[in-house]
Structure 1
């Protein structure tokens, strides 16, 4: 028992270290893609949004396949290979001169994520006991917010020299993360030995309540993607400086460090995971709608702060709900992989719709257009979650499963 507890403790510490490197490396590059290619190079926002959406599909749409490989072969080889693929994608991105070259680099980055992300998520389910998960996810998200700010600040600093340095900086962090996993991560199994990849994939696909939740959460991810394209472009238009985007992520870190853990402790005592997720998405949808009224940088920051608070309320609950389903020993990583399919759908639509709507808003001189359309998707998601979590809906889904 003592050895098992020690292994869990060391595993959780490594997860925290690994997560810091991955999130920092991601945020060195991704928040600045729209600023560089749309504002600095003058590319159409729709073209950049499409490339980002295709990247989302290449990663999250194939995550079930990556999860099934993890359940079959173990997490370590998939994590190391995936991180090296992402590093190579970032390196190529620094030299992209056409939208097609950008898309190729983003797809390569996404394929890397489809390999390492389900494996990392399954390790959390394996190493963290169910009763500890909401708080662990809260601490993990707090750390990721800080790492994301440091990454965005580093990326903004490097962007002052050239975007190639920004892309190579993200590449270097993922190479470092791959080396850390190769050297320090034990060869954990995420499923019962001998499980076939086909069996691992089939198990979550037959879990109809889980599939329903995954599809519903695609609307949640439509809202989240605006922090990578729509909001940074809006801030750049209003302030004329890329530094405003870095300060936006700094604000997220301050809110996360100061509010996330107390909010999680309070919510555990008074609210279910389902109600926390639904309420958080409702706050996020209202915030996106309020961006249609923002006319200055301060107003945007105030609205984004409310958006972050909603996200901080929803995120730990969302992760814990997914982990609750991913208990099957034959398919832990496959459950995590399938859970990312909603992110694939939401990311593809969120990026492409945001880019298209930004271009249309400029052409029609209707700055409120993107935010009103996108917020309506958020409100539909809130109603869908409320229906799914209602007692009668639960009984209906249970009968479908049986």
Structure 2
């Protein structure tokens, strides 16, 4: 069962660009939520990319402690997504988003002044816990509203979710640029600016977010987790999505190692991250429009995972040739491009699939579980990847192993119900 039934309608004429047409037909609530995602990432990325350097230099933490603090932030965020999703189903979107904003404001303000280890840890836990509240709220409501948008005949729901992804990546691109400017003053100023962004988001939601969203069912009864754990199709989706996230995580694990190997430093990493963000901002909507018209959700995820596998294979091939210097960066750039193209297919499709698999009134729980279960897969997979990289195997072997994982994940993808498949075929 789902919060809303899924069906598609014939395509409308495209007099305007995909981005303009999609934005024009969005409800005020959807526009608010998508702009919220943009603001979230601007505030977040204005601070967090520079946290490790601040902890190591300004505060003087040991390297292992810096890694521990960063790991705590990730755990408090991804691990608690399922809790945040459950709270959204029980209490509604508005209160959960508002509490999340308050926690993020407090966390950033505290982090700017924190000098002792316990204070840094407490501030970072607040920051991570805040995201575990507002992210499932925003993502689940956008997914639910995207189904409504689709039902009204505006096109596949993936277009709305693609706009959410593009907004998030735009924030991820702008945030570090803002952070660099603010760090010219000091780290505390960057933290206060990040807190200021969330003050604006809090004020906007207090003013604009309705107390009750029509069609959103609040679930007062307990439970839901047991049914989720028995939902094999949803867990299969989580495994496939977790495989993509594991591949994306190599931007922080295997790719820095490769960049340093070929150039002697990691200076080029920032350019590769910028390349990924710009690709999503510029191409997400056209790619999603094409995929929605021709592929459907399952095939979009399948082709996306195969593109990710091809990215790993490109680096493996270059490793065999032992490229170095500037030419040696080309395979890493190719991996980033192929990974990002895969991301543009996988992420909107996975998020759009959740409403079809969730129980009535449990879309928040399932949206949060998608992130939490996938995050657990990344934790286990990243540990295995690190162990493989440390084994001293021939240079191409770790990348070939990584390439096989997304290929195998394609087989895990569940089949959509016959009704949804036939509707998607009619749309194409």
For the criterion TM > 0.5, the same-fold answer is yes
Aligned to 2:423: none
1:55-74 equivalences in 2 (<5 Å): 55-74=73-92
Range 9-18 or range 317-326, more displaced: 317-326
Alignment partners' CA distance in 2, 1:311 and 1:188: 33
Correspondence for 1:312: 344
- 310, 317, 329: which is aligned to 2:360? 329
Summarize the Cα distance change of 1:7–1:204 in structure 2 as closer, same or farther, 3 Å threshold. Answer: farther
- Contact kept, 8 Å, 1:50 with 1:348, in 2: the verdict is no
Q: Is the 8 A contact 1:53 1:350 kept in 2?
A: no
Contact 1:142–1:257 at 8 Å: present in 2 too?
A: yes
Q: CA deviation at 1:282?
A: 3.1
Shift of 1:283: 2.5
In the alignment, is residue 15 of structure 1 matched against residue 30 of structure 2?
no
Alignment counterpart, residue 44 of structure 2, candidates 26, 50, 62:
26
SS in 2 for 1:128: helix
Is there any run of 5+ residues in structure 2 with no aligned partner, and where? Answer: 1-23, 151-155, 417-428
- Flag the 1:233–1:387 CA change in 2: closer, same or farther, 3 A: closer
For the 8 Å contact 2:33–2:142, the answer to whether it is kept is yes
1:382 to 395, 398, 407: 407
CA distance, structure 2, for counterparts of residue 380 and residue 255 of structure 1: 24
Matched, 1:209 2:233: yes
TM-score by length of structure 1 reads 0.78
Tell me how far apart the structure 2 counterparts of residues 349 and 342 of structure 1 sit (CA, whole Å).
11
C-alpha distance in structure 2 between counterparts of 1:44 and 1:234, whole Å: 25
**Structure 1 portions without partners, runs of 5+:** 1-5, 392-402
Greater helix content: 1
C-alpha displacement of 1:78 = 0.8
Aligned to 2:187: 163
Tell me the TM-score normalized by structure 2.
Answer: 0.73
Tell me if the contact between 1:95 and 1:164 (Cα under 8 Å) persists in the aligned partners: yes
CA contact (8 A) 1:85 1:111 kept: yes
Give CA-to-partner distance per residue, 1:103-122, whole Å, 9 cap, x none: 44332222111211221122
Alpha-carbon distance between aligned partners in 2 of 1:104 and 1:229, rounded to the nearest angstrom: 26
Q: 5 Å matches for 1:111-150?
A: 111-129=129-147, 131=150, 132-150=156-174
Q: Aligned to 1:222, which of 234, 246, 265? A: 246
For residues 96 and 374 of structure 1, the distance between their equivalents in structure 2, rounded to whole angstroms, comes to 40
| Aligned pairs, number | 377
Summarize deviations over 1:20-44 as a string: whole Å, max 9, x none.
Answer: 1012122223333455557998867
Q: Answer yes or no: is the 8 Å Cα contact 2:237–2:412 preserved in 1.
A: no
User: C-alpha displacement at 1:345, in angstroms?
Assistant: 0.9
Partner of 1:269: 293
For residues 348 and 123 of structure 1, the distance between their equivalents in structure 2, rounded to whole angstroms, comes to 27
For residue 80 of structure 1, report the CA deviation from its aligned partner: 1.0
Residue 99 of structure 1 and its aligned partner are, at CA, apart by 6.6
2:311, 2:334 within 8 Å by CA — same for their partners in 1? no
Q: Secondary structure at the match of 1:192?
A: coil
Deviation at 1:291?
A: 5.0
Query: 1:397 matched to which residue of 2?
Result: none
Counterpart residue number, 1:400: none
Distance 2:409 2:217 in 1: 35
After TM superposition, the structure 1 = structure 2 runs for residues 39-50 of structure 1, keeping only pairs within 5 Å, are 47-50=65-68
Residues 35 and 233, structure 1, Cα contact 8 Å, conserved in 2? no
Give the structure 1 partner of residue 376 of structure 2: 345
Q: Alpha-carbon deviation of 1:79?
A: 0.6
CA contact (8 A) 1:49 1:229 kept: no
